[in-house]
Structure 1
Amino acid sequence: MQQTCIVIVGPTAVGKTALAIRVAEQFGTAIISADSRQCFREMTIGVAKPSAAELAQVKHYFINSHSVQDDVNAAVFEQYALQSVKEIYAQQPIAVMTGGTGLYIKAFCEGLDDIPPVSPAIRERITEQYQQHGLSWLQQQVAAQDPAYYNTGEIHNPQRLIRALEVKQATGQSIRQYQQGKKGVRPFRIVKIGLELPREDLYRNINQRVDIMMQQGLLEEVRSLLPFRHLNALQTVGYNELFNYLDGNDTLSGAIEAIKRNTRQYAKRQMTWFRKSVDVQWFSPHNDAVLLDYCRAAMTGP
């Protein structure tokens, strides 16, 4: 059988983790997480990390593999994932990858684009202004100067916003222009499966998940991470809003509603990203039999 990686994509809270575990168990293999935050040991509740029981069911790569103090990006993930899949293929010809970080999945499947170098002075100037004026200023600048990125990118991630802005100012082109280059070729088959739900169902899942996170102790987790709040790993939905509450700038109920709203907006951007991939086959997460049949057929097909 040809070496194959089944890549399961879709928005947050759609059911990717549960499906990936079922597929991995069916084919006796391991899972590579393609989530830019679940790799951090210090972050658990707010990143919807698989439970201890789920991690015990199937071996996972890129879960609890790094510290928030490590510099982790798409290039780091690409090398980590390629090494991980090589290890998996030494045991069996099937691997599973799942996650919602579109750029990480693109890096694994196609390689990274060759973006022109940017003068350090440009980054320093943008970073200094961000430190003075905050995230909302950075979002406004990207929305005005690079709407193509703003409409599809991670607009709550300062590092990626700064990257988009510096590329635009250095080259005059949207960073998205450089993220549509020639696809690299991997020495294994890639089968992409997308999970989708009606919007009202997905949004209900998101709202319920946030409520459960709060019950599980998300506020205490965020409080424990206050000393690291300046790090890029913590610049993400679910943490920024509660940092804002702990600073006295919002009520707890207001922060919770902000997490729900920002997560719904993030899910919408995820779907915009993944919908652009013509090689993704879309399914409901509830059709287990259909999904598994599709995986078997794809692995043995041409």
Structure 2
Amino acid sequence: MSGQSNSLLAILGPTASGKTTNAVRLAKSIGGEIISVDSRQIYRQMAIGTAKPTLEEQQSVRHHLIDIANVDEKFSAADFQKLADRAIQDIRQRGKVVLLVGGSGLYFRALVDGLFSGPAGDENFRHQLNIQANVHGPQYLHQELQKVDPRTADKIHPNNLVRVIRALEVYHLSGQKMSDFQPAWDSESRYNFRAYVLKLDRQYLYQRIETRVDKMIEHGWVQEVQDLLNAGYSPSAQPLRSFGYHELINYLDGRTNLDTAVEQIKLKTRRYAKRQLTWFRADQRLKWVDPKQLENQVLTINFSQ
């Protein structure tokens, strides 16, 4: 089953759906290497809260695009696309199968479909929006986006300030909603691919989320966040505003207790999973599969073509 493949194989799914476990087992079966399609696993020192593959998993199957940026570094979908392209070329040159694994719909589409083509940026406008976010909080800008482009706002977490500002910038510069540019984005794919989304019962997925959050706390997530702050990283750094890290920073700053922070993390993680599922359902090219049937489905593919 090993051998160079002209098609990419993708294992996608919401958070806590078991992507890593299934992908590592599958990669061993087909002679594959894994490219992480995760917008948070790229950051160093963020292992527990992002559920990175364990050291044992990374040693058993080669992984790419994990631990490649510092927490205070800017990292965009364009950066991901560039590095993923290089990794794909490297994997193919060594005769291995490329296995994309993750839950970031934005990164996945950036790689297989190309980057969103909107108007060029306006540094002054972005600066003004950042000032407003500092004064009123990121929720304020998300509410402003909801007024002009609710479809795009529904796809972006309120704390993802970079994407909220970009969507407002597109509207400001072009008079068009970012969602209006979508048809132009749905052009011919950059790669041939087969993508599978792990399908779990919704309540079972939520149970897995709650159990995993509890285990993350037990395994030292609070200390991981404290170590990041001790290293001098600002709580306003984009990765530390993401769910989980944001709530634990509030706990460490004395703004809430740990039980409340953990419950907020579970709630926000469930909401994030719901948004991921919505994104995946919107792409008709993706095939939904029971995790137990994943390997049987993939083993029918001729990877030598």
Fold shared by both chains (TM-score > 0.5):
yes
Does residue 102 of structure 2 align to residue 88 of structure 1? no
Does residue 187 of structure 2 align to residue 183 of structure 1? yes
Matches within 5 A, 1:125-164: 125-164=128-167
> Structure 1 residue 247: deviation in Å?
2.3
- 1:23 maps to 26
Does residue 243 of structure 2 align to residue 240 of structure 1? no
- 1:259 maps to 265
Alignment partners' CA distance in 2, 1:94 and 1:26: 10
Alignment partners' CA distance in 2, 1:177 and 1:222: 39
> Structure 1 residue 300: deviation in Å?
5.7
Q: Give the superposed CA RMSD.
A: 1.8
> Structure 1 residue 273: deviation in Å?
0.7
Unaligned regions of 5+ residues in structure 1, if any?
Answer: none
Size of the alignment, in residue pairs?
A: 298
Checking the alignment, whether the CA contact within 8 Å between 1:29 and 1:92 is kept in structure 2 is no
Alignment partners' CA distance in 2, 1:208 and 1:2: 37
Runs of 4+ in 1 over 3 A off after TM superposition: 298-302
What is the DSSP-based 3-state SS (H/G/I as helix, E as strand, rest coil) of the residue aligned with 1:279?
A: coil
Matches within 5 A, 1:1-302: 2-180=5-183, 181-186=185-190, 188-226=191-229, 227-228=232-233, 229-285=235-291, 287=292, 290-299=293-302
Deviations 1:55-91 (A, max 9, x none): 1110000111221132211000001001001111012
Checking the alignment, whether the CA contact within 8 Å between 1:245 and 1:255 is kept in structure 2 is yes
The amino acid that maps onto 1:76 is D
Deviations 1:264-295 (A, max 9, x none): 1011111111111111110122x1xx322322
Checking the alignment, whether the CA contact within 8 Å between 2:129 and 2:165 is kept in structure 1 is yes
- Determine what percentage of the aligned residue pairs are the same residue: 37
The amino acid that maps onto 1:94 is V
* TM-score normalised by L of structure 2: 0.92
> Structure 1 residue 158: deviation in Å?
1.5
Alignment partners' CA distance in 2, 1:300 and 1:4: 8
What is the DSSP-based 3-state SS (H/G/I as helix, E as strand, rest coil) of the residue aligned with 2:301?
A: helix
* TM-score normalised by L of structure 1: 0.93
Deviations 1:125-167 (A, max 9, x none): 1111001111222232222232111222233311112212222
Unaligned regions of 5+ residues in structure 2, if any?
Answer: none
